């Protein structure tokens, strides 16, 4: 017996319905899912930020990346985590040659203030990046009085 596919009665046809085939799959999503850029590269990466008494902890999920592929920058109270991935597959059989290359980058930035920049540390284990951002002991006021000419 064949599998049954539910059929939905539509009262009106939307533009996105044009891109759905008879079986309800979204052809646009199928096209981009099979493209050269993996979906996780298109979406970025997941990150959790936790506040402790003396520090902030950022945990970023970066599975499949090597430690050397990850960059962390802290400039002007902006923490930027970026990672590049380059994959290359080659296969040769008889008269058949297949070569595929995939290059992508993910990047996220976070505004962090009141951080001791020289004490920031990071470690990467099992696809999880832990960035520890110690809070400043004394919060220095960042205000300036501006005279009017």
What is the pLDDT, as a whole number, of residue 37?
44
Residue 80 located in a structural domain: yes
What is the pLDDT, as a whole number, of residue 125?
94
What is the pLDDT, as a whole number, of residue 55?
94
> Which ranges in 1-149 belong to alpha helices (H)?
27-33, 39-43
Residue 146, phi-psi category: left (phi > 0), alpha (psi -120 to 50), beta (remainder): beta
What is the pLDDT, as a whole number, of residue 44?
75
Residue 139 located in a structural domain: no
Domain that residue 127 falls in: 45-134
What is the pLDDT, as a whole number, of residue 4?
43
Residue 69 located in a structural domain: yes
CATH number at residue 64: 2.60.40.790
Residue 144 located in a structural domain: no
- If one counts the domains in the chain, the total is 1
Residue 81 located in a structural domain: yes
Residue 74 located in a structural domain: yes
Residue 31, phi-psi category: left (phi > 0), alpha (psi -120 to 50), beta (remainder): alpha
What is the pLDDT, as a whole number, of residue 5?
42
Provide the whole-model pTM: 0.60
Residue 82 located in a structural domain: yes
Structure tokens at 77: 């109270």
What is the pLDDT, as a whole number, of residue 2?
41
User: What string of pLDDT tens digits covers the 149 residues of the chain?
Assistant: 344 444 444 555 555 555 555 545 555 554 554 444 444 444 578 999 999 999 999 999 998 888 999 999 999 889 999 999 888 878 888 777 777 887 888 999 998 888 898 899 999 999 999 999 999 887 666 666 677 76
What is the pLDDT, as a whole number, of residue 6?
43
What is the pLDDT, as a whole number, of residue 92?
82
Residue 118 located in a structural domain: yes
């Amino acid at each position: 017996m064949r599998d049954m596919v539910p059929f939905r009665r539509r009262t009106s046809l939307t533009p996105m319905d044009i891109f759905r085939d008879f079986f309800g799959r979204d052809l646009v999503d199928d096209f981009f899912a099979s493209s050269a850029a993996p979906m996780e590269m298109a979406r970025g990466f997941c990150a959790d930020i936790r506040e402790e008494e003396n520090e902030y902890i950022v945990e970023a999920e970066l599975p499949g990346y090597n430690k050397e592929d990850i960059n962390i920058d802290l400039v002007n109270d902006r923490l930027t985590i970026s990672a590049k991935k380059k994959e290359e597959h080659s296969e040769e059989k008889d008269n058949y040659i297949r070569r595929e290359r995939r290059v992508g980058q993910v990047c996220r930035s976070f505004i962090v203030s009141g951080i001791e920049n020289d004490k920031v540390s990071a470690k990467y284990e099992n696809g999880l990046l832990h960035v520890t951002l110690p809070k400043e002991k004394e919060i220095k006021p960042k205000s300036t009085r501006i005279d009017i000419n």
